[in-house]
Chains A and B, each alone.
Chain A
Amino acid sequence: MTYSFLRLAAEALRGQTGWTPAWRDPEPKAEYDALVVGGGGHGLATAYYLAREHGITNVAVLEKGWIGSGNAGRNTTIIRSNYLLPGNEAFYEHSMKLWEGLEQDLNYNAMVSQRGVLNLVNSDAARDAAARRGNAMRLHGVDAELLDADGVRAMVPYLDFDNARFPIKGGLLQRRGGTARHDAVVWGFARAADRRGVDIVQNCEVTGIRVSNGRVMGVETTRGFIGAGKVGLAVAGNSSRLAGMAGMRLPIESHVLQAFVSEAIKPLIDCVITFGAGHFYISQSDKGGLVFGGDIDGYNSYAQRGGLPLVEDVMEAFMALLPLAGRLRVLRSWGGIMDMSMDGSPIIDRSPIEGLYLNTGWCYGGFKATPASGWCFAWTMAKDEAHPLNAAMRLDRFASGALIDEKGAGPYPNKH
Chain B
Amino acid sequence: MLLIPCPFCGPRPEIEFVYGGEAHIARPADPSALDDAAWAAFLHTRSNPRGRHAERWRHLHGCARFFNVVRDTVTDRFAEHEAGG
Contact = CB atoms under 8 A, between A and B. Distances in A.
Contact of A300 (B1, B44, B55): B55
A300 B49 CA distance: 9
Interface stretch (A26-34, A203-211, A247-255): A247-255
Given A303-B75, A309-B14, 10 more contacts: A240-B46, A240-B48, A251-B46, A252-B48, A254-B48, A298-B19, A302-B74, A303-B76, A309-B15, A412-B21
Interface string A375-416: 000000000000000000000001111000000000111100
A308 to B, nearest CB: 5
A238 B37 CA distance: 23
Contact of A398 (B1, B43, B48, B53): B43
B73 A300 contact: yes
Contacts of A411: 43-44
Given A253-B21, A303-B73, A308 B39 contact: no
A254 B19 contact: no
Contacts of B47: 240, 249
Interface string B1-31: 1100000000001110001011000000000
A307 interface: yes
6 contacts: A238-B50, A240-B47, A250-B48, A251-B46, A303-B74, A309-B14
Given A254-B73, A301-B73, A303-B74, A342 B44 contact: yes
Contacts of B15: 309
A241 B44 contact: no
A254 B55 CA distance: 14
Contacts of A250: 45-46, 48
Contacts of A302: 50-51, 73-74
A299 interface: yes
Contacts of A300: 21-22, 48, 53, 55, 73
Contacts of B44: 251, 342, 398, 411
Contacts of A251: 40, 44-46
A101 B53 CA distance: 44
A307 B1 contact: yes
A241 B44 CA distance: 16
Interface in A87-145: none
A302 B4 CA distance: 18
The 8 A-B residue pairs with the shortest CB-CB distance, nearest first, are A251-B44, A399-B40, A240-B48, A342-B44, A398-B44, A399-B36, A302-B50, A398-B40
A308 B1 contact: yes
B41 interface: yes
B39 to A, nearest CB: 7
Interface string A292-322: 0000001111110001110000000000000
Contacts of B53: 300
A24 to B, nearest CB: 31
